[in-house]
Amino acid sequence: MKSTKELARELGLIRKRTLSTSGINLRKGSAANDQPFKYLIVIDFESTCWQDGKFRTQEIIEFPAVLLNTETGEIESEQVDNGIPINLCLKRFSHWLEGLRREKGVVLPGTHGDRTINTTSVTWSDWDLGVCLQYECKRKQILRPPQLGSWIDLRATYRKFYDRKPNGLNGALQDVGITFEGREHSDP
């Protein structure tokens, strides 16, 4: 059974610490180190979509995000906003990102000009950022933060790496010997 760190390394999400002969850690671009990101921001929205057995327009009700250090596999920061309007949530999220930039040097695509990008967002499918947030922002006439304009789809990454369609997130985790921790969805 593989650990989460071992799987993440296999998928290229965590780089191994490797020392060169001079004792300096290898950097991005090195042949032995193909992990371009120091951090991942893992996002998994919860939304409304069914009421009284009928589909209704989706609205984000939880906006959880964690900062994962790809070198250590540890979560270094976390934000969960729920129960506030999406425009305020996005402002808090942007402030959280700005604090991470100041404290840890986190730089996402769409921010801070030409600086080296050392972080990206990841989601399980394109639904969170490519569908749900996009449509909610459009419906409410809110600008989507530029930091949320690109991401890595972990479901597509799984499919490409293992050459098979995952049976949901839980199925993918079970395939690689990882037990899901926490709760999958908000309670109704």
* Catalytic residue annotation: 46, 185
Residue whose C-alpha is closest to residue 79's, from 105, 103, 44: 44
CA distance 52 to 125: 27
CA distance 148 to 121: 7
Identify the DSSP state of 188.
-
* Tokens linked to 46: 């919860």
Provide the pairing of β-strand 152-153 with 119-123.
parallel
The H or E element that residue 54 is part of is strand 54-69
Say if residues 173 and 181 touch (Cβ distance below 8 Å). no
